[in-house]
Amino acid sequence: MQVDLNRVIEQVSKEKGIDKTIVINAVEEMMHSAARRTFGPDRNIESRFNPELGEIELFEIKTVVEKVANAAAEADVAEARAKYDPEAEVGDEILIKLDTATMGRIAAQAAKQNLIQHIRDAERKQMFNEFKDRKQEVVSGIVQRFERKNMIVNLGRTEAILPEKEQIPHERYRQGDRIRALILDVDLSEKGLSIVLSRTSNDFLMKLFEQEVPEIYEGIVEIRQSAREPGGRAKVAVYSKDSNVDPVGACVGMKGTRVQSVVQELRGEKIDIVPWTDDQAELVCRSLAPAKVSKVIIDEDEHAMEVIVPDDQLSLAIGKRGQNVRLAHRLTGWKLDVRSEMEAEEEARSARASLNAIPGIGDINAELLYQWGFRSAEQLAEADETAFDVEGISAERATQIINAAREHVANKKIVAEAKAAAAAEAAEAAAAEAAAAEVALAATQAEGAEAPSEVIAVESAPAATEDAGEK
């Protein structure tokens, strides 16, 4: 019974989601491969699908020539007119239909394997074309199995991998659980289609907010920046294009319903939402919430900020194991040095004392230098006179101050070296004295070790005399 290939091709196309043309090409290639195995590779064979008959037709192609040089690919005019086409002329190509029933079982099996491989390749390409444009999109799947701590997720028509490093720490899933993740990468190689998922990416957090907050989806509210330590804490800076829409309130939702949905998806990861501002100092203060900031000192050259907080807010600003200040650094992009008010006052007192110790500098100049970032006489001594620009101090006065600082530092160094030398001499003297004491102690111990033998000899003499008297 002849199989209607039209129905088979239609069914495969629907099941695999592959275009019918691709399936037809795969079947034609299958039959071509089987024909070459059956009739030999030297014969010029072509396979064509006939949709009217619902079968693959095989044709051998021969060229009409005057004199045959290759019997497998050529035929002379007389043979061509007698067997195939009465009107054949030199140069014509003749299609000779072959009987597919003569193909053997081995050739058919090889053709079947070839067809399966072609359909698999076509299916992979189809999946790749479908998912390559879905990068940075959140998808939902079912946990299929685990391979070396990597999670294999069933996305329906294909599988994806959630590597261990892209999984949230301490998060546990079992086979059959439903999971949501971000498509991180899609790649098609010789090994097959590879779809990599992530639950630790910052983009995953932002996409979750986009799904939960209509204002973000519509573009009214923007997430300008985000930072997270997966499974622990996250910070999100949001901005509203509409002055009537509160960006923080939109993300939090009524009674916190929107942000709680994101927190539940991230298995309890705490999320701080702060309003974005172009004032970088203010943004740093907001990013360190819930801690309160007393003062911020900006160093544009080093792209760093010194943040002063009340003494009772220091641990809150730093966070557990430095988590809060790390996230604030990632969110703002500034290097942050968080200090308490007491520590800052102590440092300021020490810095002012170091500057005031320079001869002839004066309290006013010392305060000006401190306000411009100089924290010690040594730092001032290393300054370049040509690049020295402090408001309120002239160039001539600046040169005098720098020279005085250098002389002061040099004198301090001489005094320090003299003290070090004196301390070294004192240490040597103490060491020599200790060595002498050890020698004396050793000598005393040696004399003490000899004394008992003499005593024993003296005491043994009367005993000998008493023995002689008894005799």
Compute the distance between CA of residue 113 and CA of residue 34 in angstroms, rounded to an integer: 10
What percent of the chain shows pLDDT beyond 70? 88
For position 347, what pLDDT does the model report?
81
**What is the Cα–Cα distance from 362 to 360, expressed in whole angstroms?**
6
Residues 6+ away with beta carbon under 8 Å from 330: 227, 235
pLDDT value at residue 469: 44
- Measured CA to CA, the distance from residue 85 to residue 335 in angstroms comes to 87
- CA–CA distance, 194 with 185 (Å, rounded to integer): 8
DSSP letters spanning 98-162? E-GGG--HHHHHHHHHHHHHHHHHHHHHHHHHHHGGGTT-EEEEEEEEEETTEEEEE-SSSEEEE
Mean pLDDT of all residues belonging to the chain: 82
Question: Is residue 106 packed enough to be buried (19+ CB in 10 Å), middle (13-18) or exposed (0-12)?
Answer: exposed
Q: What are phi and psi of 87, to 5 degrees?
A: -105, 15
Distances (CA, A) of 177 to 23, 141, 152, 212, 263: 35, 8, 12, 22, 18
CA separation (Å) from 40 to 33, 76, 99, 111, 332? 10, 21, 14, 15, 71
**199-203, 367-371, 399-403, 412-416: which is most confident:** 199-203
pLDDT in the model for residue 392:
74
Task: In whole angstroms, give the CA distance from residue 9 to residue 18.
Answer: 10
| Interval 46-55 mean pLDDT | 74
- What residues pair up with 76 in beta bridges, in sequence order? 65
- In 345-377, which positions are buried (b, 16+ CB within 10 angstroms) versus exposed (e)? eeeeeebbebbeebeebeeebbebbbeeebbbb
Residue 451 — very low, low, confident or very high, per pLDDT cuts 50/70/90?
A: low
- Report the distance separating Cα 7 and Cα 19, nearest Å: 14
| Candidate ranges 3-12, 74-83, 343-352; pick with highest mean pLDDT | 343-352
> With 70 as the cut, is the pLDDT of residue 456 above it?
no
Q: Are 37 and 100 in contact (CB under 8 A)?
A: no
